[in-house]
Structure 1
């Protein structure tokens, strides 16, 4: 039996999806990494702002606000990257291939040869 959070998953479902335990461990690691990023980010940004406050004094509430907002953005970004890796792992375990996440290449439009006419009847060079 595999545990996903506080719930237990039936053996029947685990047999149908053999990568479920690896995926669950990966997701747990991703969320813990995001939580750690938040905590360390708040502490780090707060310490940097306290050092800077000697040169540019401003209220403590702004230190806390900037630290929390900045760390939230960083934590979200880290968690999103790690979760994407877990999704790729799940697809690899289930289908045997990883999706191509590269940006699609835009084709260069061919230049028209000769003169053309617009919908208004004007001749273009």
Structure 2
């Protein structure tokens, strides 16, 4: 059995997917970046609000709430981007090809269906 974090993976599955270890390490790194972003984003936002609160007094509960919300949004964004990189890595490790850019290769014949008026 192969161990990934706290889970055990069967040897047959690990042999079938040789990039599983790299993908797991990448996801772990992505989640740690998200946690670090949450902590630093919350702390920095709270510190900035303490500075602003000297000029415009408002209750402390709003400072804490807004700091946690700002840290959560920043953490979500960082974790989402890093997880997408890990997903692209997984596709590359499994297929040997990079995934296509989603911005290109969409509906290529949309211009053909437009009606033109003289």
TM-score between both structures, scaled by the size of structure 1: 0.83
- For 2:76 and 2:85, the matched residues in 1 are separated by 14
1:111 maps onto 2:109 in alignment: no
Unaligned runs of 5+ in 2: none
**Aligned pairs for 1:92-111 within 5 A:** 92-103=92-103, 104=106, 107-108=110-111, 109=114, 111=116
Which has the larger share of helix?
2
Q: Which has the larger radius of gyration?
A: 1
User: Which residue pairs with 2:35 in the alignment?
Assistant: 35
Q: Unaligned 5+ residue runs, structure 1?
A: 114-125
How many residues align? The count is 113
- Structure-1 separation of matches of 2:58 and 2:107: 48
TM-score, normalised via structure 2 length:
0.87
Runs of 4+ residues over 4 Å off in structure 1 = none
RCO comparison, higher one (Cα < 8 Å, 6+): 2
Q: What RMSD in Å do the two structures reach over aligned CA positions?
A: 1.6
Structure 2 residue 64 is matched with structure 1 residue 64: yes
